[in-house]
Amino acid sequence: MPIITINGKRFEVAKGTRIIDFATDQEIAARLNGRLVDLATVVEEDCEVELISFSSDEGKEVYWHSTAHLLAHAVKELFPEVKLAIGPPIAEGFYYDFDFKRPFTDEDLVLIQERMYEIKNRNLPIERLVMKRPVAIELFRKLGEIYKVELLEEIEEPEVTLYKQGDFIDLCRGPHLPSTGKIGSFKLLSVAGAYWRGDESRPMLSRIYGISFPTAEELDRFLVMREEARNRDHRVLGPRLGIFRMFEEAGPGLVVWLPNGMVIRRLIEEYWIEEHKKAGYRFILSPHIGRACLWQKSGHLDYYRENMFIFPYGEEEYVIKPMNCPFHLLVYKSETRSYRDLPLRLAELGTVYRDERSGVLHGLLRVKGFTQDDAHIFCTKEQVVDEVTGVVELALRFLKCYGFERYRVDLSVRDPHHKERYLGDDQIWEMAESGLIEALNRLDLKYREAPGEAVFYGPKIDIHAYDALGRSHQLTTVQFDFNLPHRFGAVYINRAGESEEVVMIHRAIYGSIERFIGILIEHYGGDFPLWLAPVQVAILPVSRNQAQYGRRILSRLRRSNLRVFLDLRNERLNYRIRDAETRKIPYMLIIGDREQKEKKVSVRKRKEGDLGSMPIKEFLRRIRDEIKKKA
């Protein structure tokens, strides 16, 4: 009889036992030998099972994916002529894309949501079906689901999985909840247009967004937080606060940094440079274009050509740089390297360009041109653990500096059951994976291991930071690469005097400057800490009588390298105070006749109010201490 180990406890079970027989009402899916499966999965042999609840990231994905199917089911019942596209879970909820003769309206959303609750209350079993691919193609062709047919025709596997609830059926890998009745409370949030597969040359579809939770209380809390998130939207705050703009005339996904944004950007870059100097990195700068043959050699041209800007020049092709790594390899190979020269840490704030489809662009979070805080470490196998440990320690210092108090660490490793999908032999994968694990253990960091999520050329660590609203953002990546050193013949002379392939580690702390600033705007709600605030102090004379005194204070603060604004506009003081609040300036110095006579300033701090009158020397001491502490 099979032995099943569930959440660490061993059970001897009969063949044919289902995982759901061991689950509570709170558990909605399972990880079977590392693979995410439905609770209805049957146990046939010895295995390890981890039960998954909504509280986990995987649980949320299963829950929201199942609700997306519930949405599609309701839409098909109300509007049978609709064609189904795709409906995945996303970071916060789910969406489903539909091809309909007209855009959906708010009134439609009310009807659809009501029908979703009706289908939920039917408590229909959600069944997993395995079908031969040609049979599935014929099924969806008969149903008139042209988008499903297109997806199926691109799948290489001979068999595919479908999910059925009542008379509704959809192409899907799953897993899903056991039944529609397991879905608690949900709400449809909005409708937007979306091109099929993000390609503006393809049909425009109607995308319905939604969210769901096990309880109504959780849904209500989310809706409150969503409203707060809307108030923090970087696409609104950024232009309003003079940080960045995007101009239609310039092209989609291309950022123009405004003066306040340049202050923030430079401070972020200067801190990055300062910390990397301390960590022993050496800086380089590579060109914005290069011969296409360089990316042919790296393999990028074969895999990413559709996302690259390529243009003819003379009798060959050139590429606008989509990534920095090939240039870093050229620098490494430009000299003969010995084991004594390693580790070599090359860092670059390198601007790259990728032809992202318009349908996936999103403010600063997804753009066509961005600056990677990129670095590559070239080292020996023996140096791997120390180098990875150093990168993670560096990343954690950065998170603390910017006020990210919570984070999650993911370890992406290869699928042990499909090793043929990955480049490199067992020995090098074991070295890399064990090196990452040892580094995380050395730092006593908890992590989630994700089998099968490594890219084909190496395992990686991802650090996800949680912002002030509890949303997760993937920032730091530490990625092994067995592909590029081999393609470029990147070697070093080892202790035995022999040539040996170098170990290459990609890593980024911010990810990209653009995306990181977008995240920061929303994390702080535009209220940047003093050290990052574009304008740190506003000087507000009560009347023109204090203008000269205001200029002397302005000069004194500027000599102390503070970013200061003297507001001499012919407006009432209350209006100028409100304006400084709207511009989210951390400190205001109010100066009237008394302050001028006593050579003091009346200090007002944003969100704290009046701090009283004090000499300028005391104010400077206070503000320097605050800047030194950063976040």
Out of 38, 374, 462, 567, the active site residue is 374
DSSP E strand stretches across 253-368: 256-257, 282-283, 289-291, 309-313, 316-320, 344-353
Describe the chain by its helix, strand, coil percentages, rounded to 5: 40, 30, 30
Phi, psi of 319 (to 5 degrees): -125, 135
Among candidate residues 51, 37, 47, the one with its CA nearest the CA of residue 1: 47
Active site residue 421: no
Assigned token pair, 178:
């056991």
Out of 60, 197, 354, 584, the active site residue is 354
Active site residue 293: no
Question: Cα 56–22–9 angle (5° rounding)?
Answer: 80
Q: Is omega for the bond preceding 103 within 30 degrees of 0, making it cis?
A: no
DSSP E strand stretches across 321-447: 344-353, 369-379, 406-413
Instruction: State how far the Cα of 266 lies from the Cα of 271, in Å rounded to an integer.
Output: 8
Active site residue 374: yes
Active site residue 354: yes
* Residue 256 DSSP symbol: E
SS3 state of residue 22: helix
DSSP E strand stretches across 54-137: 83-84, 89-90, 93-99, 127-132
How many residues would you count in the chain? Answer: 631
Concatenated DSSP letters of 502-513: PEEEEEESSS-H
- C-beta atoms surrounding 69 within 10 Å: 27
- C-beta atoms surrounding 445 within 10 Å: 16
Out of 232, 325, 368, 567, the active site residue is 325
- Kind and range of the H or E run holding 78: helix 57-78
Out of 65, 460, 523, 604, the active site residue is 460
Out of 300, 376, 473, 576, the active site residue is 376
Out of 165, 372, 479, 536, the active site residue is 372
Active site residue 460: yes
* Residue 458 DSSP symbol: B
Instruction: State how far the Cα of 322 lies from the Cα of 169, in Å rounded to an integer.
Output: 40
* Residue 420 DSSP symbol: G
506: annotated binding-site residue?
yes
Instruction: State how far the Cα of 367 lies from the Cα of 385, in Å rounded to an integer.
Output: 34
Assigned token pair, 209:
């967004």
Among candidate residues 389, 482, 481, the one with its CA nearest the CA of residue 436: 389
Out of 197, 321, 328, 506, the active site residue is 506
Active site residue 383: no
Question: Cα 557–559–565 angle (5° rounding)?
Answer: 40
Distance between alpha carbon 41 and the CA centroid of its chain, in Å?
32
- Kind and range of the H or E run holding 102: none
Greatest Cα pair distance in the chain: 93
Instruction: State how far the Cα of 412 lies from the Cα of 451, in Å rounded to an integer.
Output: 6
Active site residue 372: yes
376: annotated binding-site residue?
yes
Catalytic center residues:
325, 354, 372, 374, 376, 460, 506
Binding residues for Zn(2+): 325, 376, 506
Binding residues: 325, 376, 506
